[in-house]
Structure 1
Amino acid sequence: MAMNFKVFDNSQLVAEYAADIIRKQFNNNPTTIAGFHLDTDQAPVLDELKKNIEKHAVDFSQINILDYDDKKSYFEALGVPAGQVYPIAYEKDAIELIADKIKTKEIKGN
């Protein structure tokens, strides 16, 4: 089994790389359900994600966000519809929330 590792010199390069991967996930899978839980040290990822999305547009019409850090206004500013950003506590069961709230082809939701 082949494994690829990336080693970066500083947190800024990590943030740029992570933001690019996240944006590509949104573009490649327009029905993504993504959970974000980034503490202060990883906050540059969100800044870089915003810059990346400004350069490469993303259709957020079907993307759902599990917001562990109360950043709903940030995700709305990116273009995620307000009704598709779900606040969730770290201790809560994400699978249960997804099954109950988020509509997908497999889950019709409420």
Structure 2
Amino acid sequence: MAMNLKIFETKELADIFVADLLRKQIHNNPESILALDVNEDLSQAYEKFVGEVKNHPADLSEVQVFAVGRGNLDVFKNLDIPSSQLNSGGTADDLDDKGKKKVNVALLNLNPNKKVGFNNGNDELFKAKELFIFASGADKSEVVRNLYDANLTGNGSLSEIKNHRMVTVVLDKAAAADLDQDIVEYYTYRFA
């Protein structure tokens, strides 16, 4: 278990961080399989990601993007990758049905009601090599605290997230409001 927190002053800075990590992932591994939550909270991060790829071109010929949830993938169409590489089925079975290797990066939004990823069947997402959980806004502060305090031996998605071998929780200060101040100070990320 290696849960890391990255806390940013604003949601915009958290969005920039997410965009940059996705761009670096596909730059470093052009065969990446990305499972991306198409939740509205992440829409600005995805727009910034597309902009990053346009400004710093990467080989997208083998990248596979899987939608998590039932949102739409229009923003990813701006990456100019074939539609066969954009998978928008909206269920966990879609990841399995493609017969692909393990997901390299899963980026999921943490909802105030403790929901993350698919409503059920997150096994393939939680097997991702790297798991990123995104939370922004004061309405997420309680669930962020619940994640931080989650029992490693418990059941449920928060315990599964905390038990992942490589998980990073990306937050803005508003979402981190219920964490102890020393924790917030320690994990607040400052650009050099």
What's the TM-score, normalizing by structure 1?
0.76
Q: Hey, which of these two has a bigger chunk of helix by percent?
A: 1
C-alpha separation in 2, matches of 1:14 and 1:84: 26
Change (3 A) 1:51 1:5: same
Q: How far has the Cα of 1:42 moved from its partner?
A: 1.9
**Structure in which a larger fraction of residues adopt strand:** 2
Distance in 1 separating the partners of 2:43 and 2:75: 12
Render the CA deviation track for 1:12-65: whole Å, top value 9, x for unaligned. Answer: 000000000000000111111111113212211111112211221121101111
Spell out structure 1 runs of 4+ moving beyond 4 A. Answer: 1-4
Higher RCO structure (Cα 8 Å, ≥6 apart): 2
Q: Would you say how many aligned residue pairs link Structure 1 and Structure 2? A: 99
In the TM superposition, what is the alpha-carbon distance from 1:84 to its structure 2 partner? 1.1
In the alignment, which residue of structure 2 is the partner of 1:107? none
Residue 30 of structure 1 is matched in structure 2 by 30
Aligned equivalents of 1:59, 1:47: Cα separation in 2 = 18
Consecutive unaligned residues in structure 1, runs of 5 or more: 104-110
CA change 1:98–1:56 in 2 (3 A) is: same
Distance verdict in 2 for CA 1:97–1:9, change over 3 Å: same
The alignment's TM-score, normalised by the length of structure 2, stands at: 0.46
**Unaligned stretches of 5+ in structure 2?**
102-192
Q: Give the superposition deviation at 1:6.
A: 2.1
RMSD: 2.3
Which of structures 1 and 2 has the bigger CA Rg?
2
Q: Tell me, yes or no, if the aligned pair for 2:50 and 2:76 is still in contact at 8 Å.
A: no
Instruction: Tell me the residue number matched to 2:42.
Output: 42
